[in-house]
A and B are shown apart, each in its own frame.
Chain A
Amino acid sequence: MGKAAYMKLKGSFHFRQRLLLATLSTKAILIEDIRSDETSPGLRSHEVSLLRLIEKISDDCSVEINETGTKLRYKPGVLVGGKYLVHDCGLSRSIGYFLEPLILLGLFGKKALSITLKGITNDSKDPSVDTFRTTTLHMLKRFGVSLEGLELKIVNRGAPPLGGGEIILGVPIVPTGLTAAHWVDEGMVKSIRGVTFSTRVSPQIGSRMIYAARGIFNRFIPDVHIFTDHRSGPSGGRSPGYGVSLVAETTTGCLISTDIAISHPKPEDMDTMEDSYEKPEMLPPEDVGVQVASILLGEIEQGGVVDSTHQGLVFLLCALCPPDVSKVRVGKLTPYGIETLRNIRDFLDVKFVIKPDPTTNTVILKCVGCGMKNLSRKVA
């Protein structure tokens, strides 16, 4: 004690989870060799932005980055939360990148968190804010988080590359801790909901996507409602873009979601492409509709109580439960999920029992939670 013992890690790999788990388990970490071999070494701007965000919601955490940005020393502080916070997420990654760790950090804070995040709302790399609103927030219910105060409001939408979106996220704190979940029954898909977005493009694009997607879903289920959210003016951000986020709800209340967003690529991505200086064509909305429907059907086919995007989050939630057995069923383990499991083992010392269920081609995971409590909360 006294002098902090740093946990040594390497590479920028799974930066978010490392920061998240280090903060929750209050372990100091030292990350070395962050893109040290690349032409542009060091932390990316979104990673720095995430560090800033964590600094904003916690007290007395210390972050040291060396000159080249290839080495990071992070010592977590006490999570505080608070109201009326504003954070600019930058334009290199979308808000979804920040939301995933933020929602967990918010749960274990001293006060409820209410924060305005600015940046890109829909992106192809990260889950969109729509998916977050419709699916991720509802997942927390399973782990004993009350839905009161848990909200996400999309003020402005912003597509890459210029962004301009703005959301307001409210996360309540958990009074003591989560509750272990027993979540294996996936049920049958009873309805499909969704929302399309379109910014700075023709308002018809939304309905064209819906039309295409419905065409596929009609063969499976009649209960399909996809809403359109067309934004123009300042609430539409600064770049054109469109996309869909779909959620399939099952009879047992599981939500399986997928999303897709189409926009002009970012300048740095364009550099990697062959120097085609004119903007490349965006995927036509019909194709987008078909694609997103196929992805969703793929997810449904895989089975599991959550979709592949949310696997990591579910594992994290299970591991943060009190020392009771949590049990979840997922489809195929994703690389992200696997890495999450490894990180959980390293930081929280929680191992999952992973058993394939051959009859349904799913995987059942069981774990005994690490007994995480909300320690920073003040007791009266």
Chain B
Amino acid sequence: MAMDQEQSHKSHRSHKAGASAKKKNKKGNSEEDGKNKNPKAFAFNSAVKAKRLQSRAAEKEQRRLHVPTIDRSTGEQPPFVVVVQGPPKVGKSLLIKCLVKHYTKHNLSEVRGPITVVSGKSRRVQFIECPNDINGMIDAAKIADLALMLVDGSYGFEMETFEFLNVLQNHGFPKVMGVLTHIDKFKDVKKLRKTKQRLKHRFWTEIRDGAKLFYLSGLIHGKYPKRETHNLARFISVMKTQQLSWRSSHPYILVDRFEDVTPPERVHANMKCDRNITLYGYLRGSNMKRGTKVHITGVGDFALTGVASLADPCPLPSSGKKKGLRDKEKLFYAPMSGLGELLYDKDAVYVNINDHLVQFSKVDEETGSSGKGKPNDVGVTLVKTLQQTKYSIDEKLEQSFINLFSRKKPPASDNGHAKGNVPDGQHHDGHSGGHVSILEEDANHSGDEVSEDDEAGKNNLTGDSDSDGFDEGNDYATDDDLEDDEQMNPFSHDLNEEVELHNGRLRRKVTSSSFGNNDHLQDSGDDLQEFDDDSDNDDVHDDKLHSSSESSEGDDDLNSGDEADHSSKWKESLLARAMSRKNGNLMQLVYGPSLPVLSTTSRDADDSSENDEEFFMPKGERTKNLGDNLSGDNLNAEDSSKFTNTHLKDWSDEDLIKSVRDRFVTGDWSKAAQRGEGEGMGDDGTVFGDFEDLETGEVFKDIPGDNNNGGSKNIIKGNDPEMEERRLKKLALRAKFDAQANGSDLSDEEDHNKKKFHQNQAGEAGGYFDKLKTEIELRKQMNISELADLDDATRIEVEGFKIGTYMRLEIHDVPFEMVEHFDPCHPIIVGGVGLGEDNVGYMQVRFKRHRWHRKILKTRDPIIISVGWRRYQTVPVYTIEDRNGRYRMLKYTPEHMFCLAMFWGPLVPPQTGVLALQTLNNQAGFRIAATGTVQEFNHETKIMKKIKLVGHPLKIFKKTALIKDMFTSDLEIAKFEGAAIRTVSGIRGQVKKAAKAELGDKPKQRWESGKEGVARCTFEDRILMSDIVFLRAWTHVEVPQFYNPVTTSLQPRDQTWKGMKTIAELRRKNNLPIPHNRDSDYKAIERRPRKFNPLVIPARLQAALPFESKPKNKPPRKRPLLENRRAVVMEPHERKVHALVQNLREIKSEKTRKLKLKEQEKRKAYEAEKLKDEQLSKKRQREERRERYRLQDKKRRKS
């Protein structure tokens, strides 16, 4: 800490000569010159402009900000996933090979599955090659931390690149880097430069301006140039991960090892039986609890049968002060590619030996013991014996008479796999090298293994592994020499330790006599004793891999298995042990001594009954613990949160009063303060050291008198992790302090000041955003410090397995197709399913057809949705929200506009990205059909569509009419009673009731002949028989409850997955025409003028009319009326006026005539002028053109 003496470093000396110096000089000078010449040029002249610029700057600043998210990962980070993607034949595998070679100096023959490489002192990288089909691309996009998008520079961008980019954008956009390959195909440098430029800008428009596009020029000896690979590796190594919301809230595992652990006899009996598999990989995203349900992409949802953390197969080098990595630490791990020497399992270690290095197996068979160097090699003998086994385990079991166990298991019933006989590696096809499975017999070490202290908590108590061990034990017990050999075998001891440490295995318990008393069984003089201790595990971690013989790991054998095998006996004893041990432990009291496996499913009926019992075990417990008020039938006890203490104390008693006196403000404040601090002290004495507030620079002194000082000093002396821890605690403490200062309204002046100070600081630093950030940081520190004092087992219980642990997941009853069609080139992703995400319901998605997709999408045409971890086919209904909040169905997705899609499927939280595809085959154009985000989910949909019921009058009364054809039944009419209707001519009306034959009606009417659906309607006016009556209404649209998981992992990868077909596909297949309604055709409307018949008044009526209203038949006249014939003679005055007016008019018209003539002349002159000009200019232009062409021609000829 004492860094007060400033170390003088050599100061930076800038170049005085050379290119860089020149450049700098020039730049500086020009700037200076500019400033000197006109100092006002760069100042604001206008206040308005200044303000505008300022606001723009502020806006840009705000746009840069994102809501800060909490990063809950602590400790060692999982490897950084680099997905290498590109169209076929672009050089993906080669790039991975080159990078791996760069990191590890190993040549990779082929790239299969994820390849983990230690790339730096604190960084690992996992490469995956993205497969070329869309499913693989989607899966890879969901887990990529960095996508290297390879582009064939000689060809340009291909569809895959853009598809992949769009997939990335929808499933959280990780970092993307473009890599241009095949640049050596360009002969012309200029063209190359142009192409680079073009591709770069196209790439930028897709991602962002300035996105990195890397160029790999050509191949040297079939490899990319070393220098360029090196540069690329450096770019990869400085990439940072981003927090993506889906990923940070779901645990997920990229599987880098896959094993089929089905008992071979089961497979033998039925090839198509459901398999048990184990999946291995680094845990990412968020912490994973034991009970988590998982989704395996392309397969389906499964419950985890066993979860365990294993030793890191590719650990980071131990942190020391050195530059770079030593060769030993340049590890890589790629079991699917057959790389990495050691494979860890929960109870075994597999040593992988290349074929050309191992020869003994075949040689032995043929030539017997040939003259190889070491005939008595332990490993060789072991393997030989294993290979020479003639009998299966069952048979051996039957033959064996050495029965170590008091309770013999019927050999037929066990479902353990015969590991001793068949190495596991034979089940999966990914391994080129041979496997030697080294297994261990535990019985002879049983003395030291029961020494589990808290390990019981860690266990996932299982039976499957039980039976394994049982088999193994028996197997070995049958031949003694093998056993002897083994004791010399260094592997065996290690394994022994592992296996035994955490298991509640039957065999162990029987052999160890002093089973009940737990603590002191570590007596045997075994040299491996130290590995028992949990505390030692961390140290073991580091030097574990490069020396396989020491590779014992305490915690990598958390057992897993199915509940079916829970054998009651060992459970009992375990229970008893736990009971005896933890008397005072409240956690034990509350959660019970046995670790209950949740009785979740009703699938295993026989099982659940047992579990239920266990679940309700607390019956006896509770009565014991909780006293008298819960006696009686516990299952049906009264449900009340109120806790009534039956015996009340008499609070007039002085002693009693004294005892609570300090709980009141009238009491002793210092005692109360101590009480408040008590928990901090109780947690960890070392928390309260001296510490410095990083923000304010104040130093807080610890209260002396405690023994803390010694403790803190120790810690300072301790190594790095401890320092780190201490720092975090300090931060957390500061958080606590801040919380106090803000939360309580203490009038303490100092506190007050401090509070102010903090607020000021926050305000200065950028207000709300920084406040949020500090809050998140404090929350994080608090989390770390609160969990720091827990032991590992409890910690896993409480927060789950941590991000970055290497996990082994065991899953039972997986369809056999997954194993059969397993292809290491396709990534297997195991994603955790969140709360409620395994439920099915309707989802509302804000949805937009992708503008590159050729066709619009039709309602009820199945689409394949990729959302969350899942991919499934579903049938959407597209809607749009009207102004009044109604969801109106659309037949097709609108162009260039968002709509809503409603579909049925497994629910995901709102704001998750959705991707829709219509087809999965490789030949299609741009396959991404639409994109969107989830808005809401629900269990019902309220989609409406317009409906128009059309009817015709059947009979018209005055203003009432009977309408037929509109409804089909009386029931339907009843539903529409009171609905508004209208005729085409615009007469409005209302539906009244179904027409009924009434007493007064004529009996033999047509509509009464048993036909339903005739409605009586009234109108505002009498309608005509030719009128068409219609009813406009809204009707509910059902969204089909259909979804079909896309199970691409359960079929050969080269086949395209077949799901439900679209209507168009069905029509094409069955050769059906598109139905055509001729009434819907658009035709020109021709309206003939309507001919009205002359009005005829009946004679009787006419007779009755008054004369005025009677039609009068007048004959036509021959002569016009007198009124029209008469002549008009003017008065003298009138005549004068008339003449005057006529004269005036004459004058005016003459004037205008003249004016017009003048105008015409003018225009004529102008036209002539214009024509002249035009001719001139034409001539000039022609000249010019001629000149230009001549010049151009000349130029061309020259060049």
Contacts and interface: CB of A to CB of B under 8 A. Distances in A.
A binds B: yes
B935 A379 contact: yes
11 contacts: A1-B840, A60-B939, A125-B638, A126-B640, A182-B739, A184-B679, A190-B665, A216-B651, A313-B641, A376-B938, A377-B910
B859 interface: no
B222 interface: no
Contacts of A295: 645, 648
Contacts of B682: 355, 357-359
Contact of B636 (A34, A351, A354, A355): A34
Nearest to B909: A375
B838 interface: yes
Interface string B729-758: 000000010011001100000000000000
Interface string A127-160: 1000000000000000000000000000000000
Interface stretch (A81-89, A161-169, A195-203, A297-305): A297-305
A2 interface: yes
Interface stretch (A226-234, A271-279, A335-343): A335-343
Given A300-B660, A323-B799, A346 B744 contact: no
Nearest to B908: A375
Interface string B635-652: 111111111010011111
Given A298-B648, A300-B660, A335-B630, A375 B910 contact: yes
B672 A188 contact: yes
Interface string B931-975: 000011111100000000000000000000000000000000000
A221 interface: yes
A282 interface: no
A146 B1189 CA distance: 80
A172 interface: no
Contacts of B1180: none
Contacts of B659: 301
Given A7-B600, A349-B291, A336 B643 contact: yes
B446 interface: no
Interface string B817-857: 00000000000000000111011110010000000000000
Given A1-B300, A251-B744, 15 more contacts: A5-B603, A6-B601, A7-B598, A26-B839, A59-B939, A188-B669, A291-B648, A323-B286, A325-B782, A335-B629, A336-B640, A349-B292, A379-B910, A379-B935, A380-B935
B786 A15 contact: no
B910 A78 contact: no
A68 to B, nearest CB: 14
Given A180-B779, A324-B779, A325-B786, A12 B635 contact: yes
B639 A15 contact: yes
A277 to B, nearest CB: 25
Contacts of A60: 841, 938-940
A213 B181 CA distance: 87
Contact of A367 (B667, B798, B834): B798
B412 interface: no
A366 B739 contact: no
A65 interface: no
A370 B766 CA distance: 32
A2 B939 CA distance: 14
Given A346-B598, A379-B911, A13 B634 contact: yes
Contact of B910 (A251, A335, A371, A378): A378
B666 interface: yes
B586 A363 contact: yes
A252 interface: yes
Contacts of A323: 72, 286-287, 799
Given A8-B599, A252-B743, A300-B660, A378 B72 contact: no
Interface of A: 1-2, 5-17, 25-27, 30, 33-35, 37-38, 59-60, 77-78, 97, 100, 110, 125-127, 180, 182, 184-190, 216, 219-222, 251-253, 291, 293-295, 297-298, 300-301, 303, 308-313, 323-325, 327, 329, 333-336, 338, 341-342, 345-346, 348-349, 351-360, 363-364, 366-368, 370-373, 375-380
Contacts of A26: 835-836, 839
A253 B746 CA distance: 12
B42 to A, nearest CB: 44
A1 B906 contact: yes
B622 interface: yes
B633 interface: yes
A5 B665 contact: no
A297 B672 contact: no
A251 B745 CA distance: 9
A26 B838 CA distance: 9
A309 B596 CA distance: 27
B586 A351 contact: no
A216 B921 CA distance: 82
A5 B782 contact: no
A147 B785 CA distance: 30
A16 B639 contact: yes
Contact of B787 (A38, A325, A348, A364): A325
Given A329-B679, A335-B622, A345 B639 contact: no
A89 to B, nearest CB: 14
Contacts of A37: 633, 636
A360 B674 CA distance: 10
8 nearest CB pairs, A to B: A11-B635, A60-B939, A26-B836, A378-B936, A354-B586, A308-B643, A334-B643, A325-B786
A187 B676 contact: yes
Contacts of A348: 835
Nearest to A26: B836
Interface stretch (B1-9, B492-500, B610-618, B1081-1089): B610-618
B301 A1 contact: yes
B602 A353 contact: no
Contact of B586 (A333, A367, A370): A333
B834 to A, nearest CB: 7
A377 B937 CA distance: 8
A311 B289 CA distance: 25
A216 B652 contact: yes
Contacts of A324: 70, 72, 779, 782-783
Given A251-B665, A346-B598, A349-B289, A379 B744 contact: no
A60 B586 CA distance: 40
A1 B676 contact: no
Contacts of B839: 1, 26
A100 to B, nearest CB: 6
Contacts of B674: 359
Given A188-B662, A252-B744, A375-B910, A14 B639 contact: yes
B591 A341 contact: yes
A219 B657 contact: yes
Contact of B660 (A7, A301, A364, A372): A301
Contacts of B626: 335, 338
Nearest to B680: A184
Contacts of A180: 779
B1011 interface: no
Contacts of B669: 188
Residue from A110, A309, A354, A368 having most chain B Cβ neighbours under 10 A: A368
B354 interface: no
A338 B625 CA distance: 10
A166 B780 CA distance: 44
A13 B637 contact: yes
Nearest to B682: A357
A2 B906 CA distance: 9
A97 B584 CA distance: 33
Nearest to B250: A371
Contacts of A376: 936-938
Contacts of B637: 13
B618 A78 contact: no
Contact of B648 (A11, A15, A125, A294): A294
B636 A11 contact: yes
B910 A221 contact: no
A371 B798 contact: no
A216 B584 CA distance: 36
